[in-house]
Amino acid sequence: MPDLPDDPAEWPTDPFAVLGVERGAAEIDIKRAYTRLIKRFKPEHAPEQFRRVREAYEACLEGFRWLAPPPEFHWDAAPPRRDPGPDAAPRPEPEPPRRAEPEPARGDDVDRLWELAVAGDETAAYAGLVRLSDDGDTRGDLPLRLYWLLGLNPALDATRTRHDWLAAALKAGGLSGAAAELYRRELDADPTAALHGPYAGLLEAAAAGRDRLTVGRWRVAAAGRSEAWVPAASDLRTLARTLPYENEPAWLDLLVAAHGWAAWLRPPRVYDLCRAELDKLRHLELRYSSHFDRIDEAEYLARAWRGYTETLGSFGLLGLVPHAWCGDLHPVPLGRVIGEVAARPLAALGALDRCPHEAQRAFVFLITRALEDYRAAHPPAEPGPDADLIRGLAAGFPAGWRRDYDGLRGELLSFLLAEAVDPLAFADACRLHPTAAVREAVHLLRGDGALRVVWLACRLGD
């Protein structure tokens, strides 16, 4: 089977091709392929690749179950039919079935009312669709149409919002389908609104275990990045009633994700619950050692992070560490931090410099990787200057090169920001510079992760 490239963007979309197995492969072959891949793409080192492999594995298992032949049924195993005997009373002839009266075509009413909305009469359309809903119409897309109408025109209803209708659609659809995808977008856009109100207790809805787990993952991530610990704790308690008995590995995976958020600030409701539930899964430690290793790493880094950030007036760039650890660099917290760093880049650099050395290396690595991933997904409008132009800029560096690197470092950061030159691109272009002082400075610049991560954060704010 061909090896997957390191870049998940180059992977096939077919889950069977991701695992390198044929359609219709046996369950044991699917599990072997999955085990082989997660040894290469470990969650702590390649979270995106691990997620893709996990999704492919689950999709292949689902496909296997659909394609597997149904169990054989032996007709002769049915109980023998008894002869009623000659004295038995004759059975009455069954009455012919009554013809049911046809139900009114409610779907036609929905479509007709929707056409009114398309034509511009949103008020009449909304009122009519609400009446159908109140009358018990169970058409699946009815609450979604009401959701869209209120999203476009919230003034149509003085007592309800679009969230009321989306929550109704989610519960009616078993936390799956179009309603689930719309809910994921709401969680991304405004986690506070999407975790509370009509969505409280959402995981109590009747749903397949897999769909409940998927929505639970989304909610835990949204709660973590917005520090909404009350709904996170409630969701974990709800899932703890059933998920450990349905799928222990999936429960472990979710707990590791929740712990990844809670370890940094240690909100008691979530952190203590995660630790208590994880202790119950210690029998899985040999089989899922990478999960427990990640818990230990998070505890170690979070302890150092709390100890240092408590001495700062604000988290600054270090506020991105929990998001980077969880692989969830969302535009809202990112924008908040970038604004602060861009306003005072030298102060941000100084805060990183004062961080304990071992922790600093880990924090800089995590934030740099997260910022680079974000920049790759949102590339700058124009490429940076080429190597020749960079060498020309180096010759005109206003501070001059005849100083120790520590003495010119702050001015070099300001210079690279003003000229929009990536520190690594600058080091590459000038590594063979004829001036020894320049070569020595760019050699040190190449290894200056703290300077580059500040540069990346500031440039994302442009």
pLDDT tens figures, 202-222: 999 999 999 999 999 999 999
Do residue 201 and residue 256 come from a single domain? yes
Do residue 206 and residue 248 come from a single domain? yes
Do residue 276 and residue 179 come from a single domain? yes
Within a domain: residue 392? yes
The reported pLDDT for the residue numbered 63 is 60
The rounded distance, in Å, linking the Cα atoms of 421 and 74 is 75
The reported pLDDT for the residue numbered 387 is 92
Rounded to the nearest integer, the mean pLDDT of the chain is: 86
Do residue 260 and residue 329 come from a single domain? no
Q: What is the pLDDT of residues 246-267, one digit of tens each?
A: 999 999 999 999 999 999 999 9
| Inter-residue contact 151 to 193 (CB < 8 Å) | no
The reported pLDDT for the residue numbered 229 is 96
Q: What is the pLDDT of residues 101-113, one digit of tens each?
A: 444 445 578 888 8
Question: Minimal CA–CA distance to 250: which of 445, 396, 58?
Answer: 58
Within a domain: residue 79? no
The reported pLDDT for the residue numbered 98 is 45
The total domain count for the chain is 3
Do residue 175 and residue 303 come from a single domain? yes
Q: How confident is the model at residue 89 (pLDDT cuts 50, 70, 90)?
A: very low
Within a domain: residue 204? yes
The reported pLDDT for the residue numbered 102 is 40
* Listed residues 308, 325, 359: the one ending a domain: 308
- Residue 76, pLDDT > 80, answer no
Which CATH number is 60's domain given? 1.10.287.110
The reported pLDDT for the residue numbered 2 is 62
Do residue 323 and residue 302 come from a single domain? no
Do residue 286 and residue 349 come from a single domain? no
The CA-atom distances, in angstroms, between 72 and each of 67, 77, 317 are 15, 11, 62
The rounded distance, in Å, linking the Cα atoms of 167 and 146 is 11
The rounded distance, in Å, linking the Cα atoms of 418 and 347 is 17
- Tokens 């008894």 correspond to 82
Within a domain: residue 249? yes
Q: What is the pLDDT of residues 175-195, one digit of tens each?
A: 999 999 999 999 999 999 999
What mean pLDDT comes out for the span 23-29?
79
Least confident of 137-146, 187-196, 273-282, 399-408: 137-146
Question: Minimal CA–CA distance to 450: which of 389, 375, 368?
Answer: 368
- Top pLDDT among 430 and 102 is at 430
Q: Percent of the chain beyond pLDDT 90?
A: 59
What mean pLDDT comes out for the span 78-92?
43
Do residue 326 and residue 283 come from a single domain? no
| Inter-residue contact 263 to 271 (CB < 8 Å) | yes
The reported pLDDT for the residue numbered 137 is 67
What is the domain range of residue 212? 161-308
Its sign, for the CA torsion 450, 452, 453, 457, is positive
Least confident of 66-75, 118-127, 165-174, 334-343: 66-75
Question: Minimal CA–CA distance to 377: which of 31, 39, 48?
Answer: 48
pTM: 0.71
The reported pLDDT for the residue numbered 16 is 82
What mean pLDDT comes out for the span 411-415?
95
Do residue 246 and residue 304 come from a single domain? yes
Q: What is the pLDDT of residues 310-330, one digit of tens each?
A: 988 778 899 999 999 998 888
Q: How confident is the model at residue 117 (pLDDT cuts 50, 70, 90)?
A: confident
Within a domain: residue 104? no
Neighbour count for residue 353 (Cβ, 10 Å)? 13
The reported pLDDT for the residue numbered 332 is 82
* Listed residues 259, 288, 308: the one ending a domain: 308
Do residue 217 and residue 257 come from a single domain? yes
- Residue 434, pLDDT > 70, answer yes
The reported pLDDT for the residue numbered 100 is 43
Within a domain: residue 220? yes
The reported pLDDT for the residue numbered 160 is 94
What is the token pair recorded at 224?
């973590």
Within a domain: residue 102? no
Within a domain: residue 354? yes
- Residue 348, pLDDT > 60, answer yes
- Top pLDDT among 116 and 283 is at 283
